[in-house]
Structure 1
Amino acid sequence: MKNRHFKKSKKWICVTIIIFMLILDISSKYWITKYIQLYETKKIFSILNLFHIHNYGAAFSLLSQQRGWEIWFLSIVSILTILIATRIIIKSNNKEIKKIIAYSFIIAGAIGNLINRIIYGFVIDFIDLHIHNWHFATFNIADCSIFLGIIILVRTNY
């Protein structure tokens, strides 16, 4: 009986994280497209801007200069990531809650960016961290979710 309860709670943890992160990601991208023009910058803090751009590639705009095949390739990679992470969660040991949480964040981020690729053919990015004139790659909430999931996985394994 106890094991069955945990399986249900494991599902709810996954579903809750994924839905919460998707709502955050989709609503933030909607807000950016509604209130900030493409290539417009809004200063938030001395190290943070909102900068609306469209990323046709992957992280750090990798593959963004290609001619269309990258959308399909990156969509397939996202789908495979979602399927593999889901399988890992399903097969995970009941005591591996950090691992389950980590993969839930990764799934949420992959779904958020996949939705953009399917609807628009690009991903909406807008978080611009910088120190003076040095700018880190512009990213979004889905990317943060994937990054957080990876950090939790690394911390869990060490």
Structure 2
Amino acid sequence: MAWPWVLAAVIVVIDQVTKNLVQAALAPGEGIILIPDFLNLVHAHNRGVAFGMLDGAGGWQVPLLAVVTFGVIIALGVWLFRLGRSEWGTRLALGLILGGAVGNLIDRVWLGYVVDFVDVHWKSVYHYPAFNVADSGITLGAMVLVGVLIREELAVRRDRAR
């Protein structure tokens, strides 16, 4: 079952292409309003983790995060390799997460930061941290995995109730 690996590769390619396009079009810190008061295209650098945590930690976090991410990629790859063919939901989730993790690891290793470019906000009331295609893959994969786990738990509870 190669399709989760292909999905991961597609996410990596789309992630890297979009990041390269943003870097070519915008200087760091620049942005373009796509939908006023809602969506901007920006060129942001994130040396930290999700939501910019540890971004200003001084640089020590970059190699640590790269090593941790590499370990997570290996663990998820082994998990995916060992999955049965019928576990399509988990395979989908792991393909999405792996693609996102590899995409962000490439940035972290080659650039020393992750390029983010999708900036969603609601006027000046709410501002979500900038993200990228890799982050979207990781988030969507995590949501699918949670859904799979909930479905499995509900099935176990139904079986116990019989």
TM-score (norm 2): 0.88
Matched, 1:157 2:149: yes
3-state SS, counterpart of residue 38 of structure 1: coil
| Distance apart, 1:91 and its partner CA | 1.2
Q: Distance in 1 between matches of 2:11 and 2:32?
A: 23
Matched, 1:70 2:94: no
Deviation sequence 1:90-129 (CA, Å, 0-9, x none): 1112210110110011111110010001111000011000
Which one of 87, 91, 99 corresponds to residue 90 of structure 2? 99
Q: Distance in 2 between matches of 1:41 and 1:65?
A: 21
Matched, 1:84 2:82: no
Q: Quote the residue 1:147 is aligned against.
A: 139
Structure ID, larger Rg = 2
Q: Distance in 1 between matches of 2:81 and 2:17?
A: 28
Q: Distance in 1 between matches of 2:81 and 2:5?
A: 12
| Coordinate RMSD, CA, aligned | 0.9
**Aligned residue identity for 2:62:** I
| Distance apart, 1:67 and its partner CA | 2.0
Deviation sequence 1:53-88 (CA, Å, 0-9, x none): 111111111111112220111101211111111111
The more displaced of 145-154 and 68-77 is 68-77
**Aligned residue identity for 2:133:** I
3-state SS, counterpart of residue 39 of structure 1: coil
Q: Distance in 1 between matches of 2:58 and 2:119?
A: 26
Matched, 1:27 2:17: yes
Q: Distance in 2 between matches of 1:98 and 1:146?
A: 14
Aligned-pair identity in percent equals 30
3-state SS, counterpart of residue 53 of structure 1: strand
Q: Quote the residue 1:60 is aligned against.
A: 51
Q: Quote the residue 1:45 is aligned against.
A: 35
- Give structure 1 stretches of 5+ with no counterpart: 1-9
Q: Distance in 2 between matches of 1:119 and 1:83?
A: 19
